[in-house]
Structure 1
Amino acid sequence: MDLSIFPFDSKYAKRFKELNVAWLEKYFYVEPKDSFILENCEANIINKGGYIYFAQYNDEIVGCFAFLKVGDREYELGKMAVDPNYQGLKIGQALLAFAIGYATQNKWNKIILYSNTKLENALYIYRKYGFKEIEIEKNLPYARSDIKMELLII
């Protein structure tokens, strides 16, 4: 598979939004917090100490994810999406493995994520990569979130 993963470039901000909106509309709906983050991902993720990465397959930008800074050496893995035309090629798993490697290389303490229990395939993959379910807090920013997981890095 000719897949490369590379960091954010503002020329791909529109593609980041497109990938995420397509995913959200397939499974849920775009919530106000999604709109806020996606409308200006550079200001709302990158400029706040976070990261965005893209997956390129055969010269097409087909996937992405973001790390949103939560605390010192603690990030939320979010906004992960793969173009529906390229699902089934394990691009999501490649992005997840890259994300974990990046966190390990940078000696982060942990990665957290929020998901939904109806996304059984995604939860299976998160568990396969070592994420464990933890208690979810009240008053979450996303109505769709009903499960919280973490991966301890060090």
Structure 2
Amino acid sequence: MSLEIIPFEPKYAQSFKELNIAWLEKYFHVEPHDAELLENCEKTIIKKGGYIFYAKYQDSIVGCFSFIKINEKIYELGKMAVDPEYQGLKIGQGLMDYAIAYAKLQGWDKILLYSNTKLENALYIYKKYGFKEIDLETNTPYKRSNIKMELLLD
């Protein structure tokens, strides 16, 4: 498989938005915080110290994820999506492998993520990669979130 993980390029911002909206509309709905992040991801993620990466497969953008900066050593892993036509090719795992390796290379302390317990497959993968459930604050960034997890990086 010729999967390539590439960093943010403005020309792919629309793909980032479309992949995430398709995923959100399939399982939930687009919340105001989602719309804010997706409408202008360069301003709301990149220019605030975050990162966006794309999965490029056979010259097409088929997946993505972001790191939203919490502080210098802690980032939220979010906006991970894979085009439904390419699911089952382990692209999500490729993105997760890359995300964790990148975070360790940066010397971060931990990665956080918000999810929902109805996403059993996603939770299985997060646990497989070592994420552990932690207390969920009452004022979460997403109304759909009913679980918060972290991965401590060594």
CA distance in 1, matches of 2:114, 2:142: 9
CA distance in structure 2 between the partners assigned to 1:32 and 1:130 by the alignment: 30
- Distance in 2, matches of 1:120 and 1:5, equals 25
In structure 2, the partner of 1:4 is 4
Secondary structure in structure 2 of the residue aligned to 1:12 = helix
Deviations 1:97-121 (A, max 9, x none): 1000001111100000000000000
Superimposed CA distance per residue, residues 109-149 of structure 1 (whole angstroms, 9 cap, x where no aligned partner) = 00000000000000000000000000000011211100000
1:101 aligns to 2:67 (yes or no)? no
Q: Which residue of 2 aligns with 1:45?
A: 45
In structure 2, the partner of 1:128 is: 128
Output the CA distance in 1 between the equivalents of 2:105 and 2:69: 16
TM-score by length of 1: 0.99
Q: Which amino acid aligns with 2:43?
A: A
Residue identity opposite 1:47 in structure 2: K
SS in 1 for 2:139: coil
TM-score (normalised: structure 2):
0.99
| Alignment-derived partner of residue 73 in structure 2 | 73
In structure 2, the residue corresponding to 1:4 is in which secondary structure?
strand
Secondary structure of 2:92's match?
helix
**Alignment correspondent of 2:26:** 26
Alignment-derived partner of residue 59 in structure 1: 59
Gaps of 5+ in 1: none
Partner of 1:113, secondary structure, is strand
Write the deviation string for residues 26-73 of structure 1: whole angstroms up to 9, x where unpaired: 100000111111000000000000000000111110000000000121
Seq. identity, %: 68
Q: Distance in 2 between matches of 1:134 and 1:98?
A: 23
Residue 119 (structure 1) aligns with: 119
Query: Which letter maps to 1:54?
Result: Y
> What SS does the aligned partner of 1:24 have?
helix
**Which amino acid in the other structure matches residue 43 of structure 1?**
K
CA distance, structure 2, for counterparts of residue 17 and residue 145 of structure 1: 20
